[in-house]
Homo-oligomer: A and B are copies of this chain.
Amino acid sequence: MLEPVLLRGEWRHASDPAGTFSPVDPSTREPLEESYPVSGIDDIERACAAALEAVVALRGIPPDRIARFLEDYAARIEAGAEALVDRAARETGLPRNPRLRQVELPRTIDQLRQGAAAARDRSWCRATLDTRHNIRSFYAPLGGPVVVFGPNNFPFAFNSVAGGDFVAAVAAGNPVIGKANTGHPGTTKLLAEEALAAARDCGLPPAIVQLIYRTPPDVGFGLVSHTAIGATGFTGSKSAGLRLKHAADAAGKPIYLEMSSVNPVFVLPGALAERLSSIARELFESCALGAGQFCTRPGVTVIQEDPRSEMFIAEVAALFGRTTPGTLLGGSGVEAIGRGIDELVTHGATIVVGGRAEAGPRYAFANTLLRTSGEAFLENPGALQAEAFGTVNLMVVARDAREMAKIAAALEGGLTGCIYSASTGGDDDAYGVLAPVLRQRVGRLLNDKMPTGVAVSPAMNHGGPYPATGHPGFTAVGIPASLLRFAALHCYDNVRAHRLPPEIGNRNPTGSMWRIIDGEWSQRDVLA
């Protein structure tokens, strides 16, 4: 019995599926009983056609209704939490508590509610009025659906039909075609059922959310480059992301990618002198969160050679060594960690602790700490940033502050970079050398704080230079900024007043929306 796809508001058989697959329970390595279709080009064409009808229907629907939909959906997720958590735990091996039930699900609900608030508030669309020339512009929906590819590591918060990209796309007024992550298709289906019910309740076109589970690669390329679509949001591996980017770029379709990041943590000597043990614990906990499968997990720690640096490595190694590793999302993850560690070792890193897959039924890999010198790192900076998506960290022992800055300069573009320094100001000279270099390599610069746990803040940047993402000006997390990825700049020049969209009319449509009127941000009306 093959599970249905969701197209044009109907759960229906995939048309001419190119294959089937079943997810695997990571805690037993046993396939689950459900079977899901691999969609071919027919499903893509149907989804795109239905989405274009939804685009037209959405033009007549006020943002308040979209906000109500997001809130209704959030409430349904809250009400259905137990079933969702059960299914997600079974498909991902992630702990029910605190992870799924107490952290990720509330975050997902909060994102939906923040998206609703942004849609209702409308300030996100940056209405700009030049009343002297009667030229007015704002960010409007794309005119085509947003395709969302969700990653394997967040079954709720980055889910293709409930997570951050979904919320941003819908809050900006676009329908979504979700491509489930193949690791948790059942969780995604449960979410899509709630989304569809919420859309029906709120009188939205049901094709505001559609769902397929998997495609052959060429069908995926056809989807992101389809003439009908507005843009794509992708969170996942660099290899898959770059191939999709190539297809989308060639068709002139925007694609927003969140691909990978080494997330370096620099610990300056004064910080170690002050609080070695607490930093060791913070580092370990950040590395081990979600069994190390966070895109912001620290992959490299850079410290300076001195007696304390050896104590620090020893203390981190002890934490890595004595803690049972978490369950990984799948067997390919186990293999990929092994390959990543091999790459590091081949280029001169040595294993301090860990280094091999765990025995037993569940997918797991020993927590692994490696080390190398700053000089060795600078000889092979590319290879020594090899990704190992698990509780794996490479300690790089640099000679001095200048070598630390050189290491920072040799980093690939990443999401985050952290610097720990003495609270007394004793590290400030070293900070002054290092920070300007690191700043250019990352989207988010942190002080005295680990990078995991990406706050859903308007000031967040979950983005950064290529190849962490495909564009350094956009963030995937943080409302309302994340909405701007899924909007087009629409200008109205000399358009008659009664034909203007409410967002750029003389009257402030909400009474409180922020707009730029003749160069000043304001909540006022324009006097006609």
Contact = CB atoms under 8 A, between A and B. Distances in A.
Contacts of A459: 128-130, 133, 135-137, 491
Interface hub of A446, A455, A491 (most chain B Cβ within 10 A): A491
B475 A488 contact: no
A258 to B, nearest CB: 13
Interface residues of A, number: 71
B448 A461 contact: no
Given A137-B461, A461-B490, A491-B459, A59 B436 contact: yes
Contacts of A487: 473
Nearest to A413: B252
A472 B474 CA distance: 14
A77 interface: no
Contact of A521 (B251, B252, B494, B521): B521
Contacts of A461: 137, 489-491
Contacts of A496: 447
A478 B192 CA distance: 41
Given A135-B459, A253-B466, A472 B488 contact: yes
Interface string A455-484: 101111101011100111111000001001
A446 B514 contact: no
A494 B449 contact: yes
Given A459-B129, A459-B136, A461-B490, A143 B499 contact: no
How many copies make up the complex?
2
Interface string A490-518: 11111110010000000000000010100
Contact of A445 (B56, B249, B458, B493): B493
Interface string A237-281: 000000001100111111000000000000000000000000000
A440 interface: yes
B142 A491 contact: no
Nearest to A472: B488
Interface of A: 56, 59, 123, 128-130, 133, 135-137, 139, 142-143, 245-246, 249-254, 413, 416, 431, 435-436, 439-440, 443-449, 451, 455, 457-461, 463, 465-467, 470-475, 481, 484-485, 487-496, 499, 514, 516, 519-521
7 contacts: A133-B459, A245-B249, A246-B249, A416-B493, A451-B493, A473-B484, A473-B485
Given A137-B460, A473-B484, 11 more contacts: A135-B457, A245-B249, A252-B470, A254-B471, A254-B473, A431-B499, A443-B488, A443-B489, A444-B491, A473-B489, A521-B521
